[in-house]
Amino acid sequence: MPWKAIGIFDSGVGGLTVLKEIVKALPQEDTIYFGDTARVPYGTKSPETVTRYSLEIASFLVKRDIKLLVVACNTASAASLDVLQKKLPIPVIGVIEPGARRAVAVTRSGKVGVIGTAGTIRSSAYAKAIKRLNPEVEVITRACPLFVPLAEEGWTDNEVARLTAHAYLDGLREEGVDTLVLGCTHYPLLKKVIGETVGDGVKLVDSAEETARTVAEILRAKAMTRPSSEQGNHHYYVTDIPAGFIRVGNRFLGGRLGDVYQVSIDGEKG
């Protein structure tokens, strides 16, 4: 069992920020990443549709013998984590719970900001998760639709990124948040600009980092990690032509993306 891989999926390329943190935390582990690039984005689709897609992908990955599944997609975590945890015989980790837990632990003012895509913010998934942990914490949310295309374009440290960050975030700072959850897997790429915009007084919570920490804790607790002398291998599957995934993925991982395979999962039993 320890020798099996960690499965990670996202609607597209964004979950690679989670993969990157997992590899940093557990370099000895094999990973299999699945990006549903033919059907991206999930944020505009109904929860039922997203759950159907998630089950299809989970089925594909479980057949490839994984020991743990990471739902590295905020929309899929919000829509389908419960169903996946019930249906699968392995641990399933989403990205929302770890970020929410960290935010609750970190805040001193009791005011937490959450930024994400329009879909994630509309779902209130982070607000609900934070309130479940501590109903006293006030959650102030803001959708930042331009951050994803900025990250994919590689404009993460220029004047456009800075102006955009001010337009989205100045209001949050004025409302007195002392903690800001990066509630979208793309946002860690904009961490520097976001941090400079909100200032030192606001602590950033990176869901990708927190998720990787949770994965490492669970595998260690179950004695399911590989020996730390090992060096993991990394495989990538996508559902549409890989060109765009490779280009953007290399930007996300700093040019270290390996081989990417295109597969079809139409009709895969969820």
Can you say which residues are annotated as belonging to the binding site?
A: 10-11, 42-43, 74-75, 185-186
When asked if residue 74 is in the footprint of a second copy (CB under 8 A), the reply is: no
13, two tokens: 């390329």
Count of other CB atoms within 10 angstroms of residue 104 = 20
Q: Which residues are annotated as a binding site for substrate?
A: 10-11, 42-43, 74-75, 185-186
Yes or no: say if 59 and 270 are a contact pair by the CB < 8 Å rule: yes
Q: CA 270, CA 267: separation in Å to the nearest integer?
A: 8
Report whether 236 contacts 249 (CB < 8 A): yes
Among 74, 77, 123, 164, binds a second copy (CB under 8 A): 164
184 included as an active-site residue: yes
Q: List Cβ neighbours of 220 (8 Å cut-off, separation of 6 or more).
A: none
**23, 26, 40, 208: which one contacts a second copy (CB under 8 A)?**
40
Element (H, E) at 168: helix 159-174
Q: Nearest Cα to 215, choosing from 11, 13, 23?
A: 23
Mark the segment that binds a second copy (CB under 8 A) among 50-58, 59-67, 81-89, 157-165.
157-165
Among 105, 221, 241, 263, binds a second copy (CB under 8 A): 241
Is residue 149 within the footprint of a second copy (CB under 8 A)?
A: yes
144 is catalytic: no
Residues classed as catalytic: 73, 184
The binding site for a second copy (CB under 8 A) comprises 37-40, 44-46, 49, 118, 145-146, 148-150, 152-153, 155, 158-160, 163-164, 167, 240-241, 244
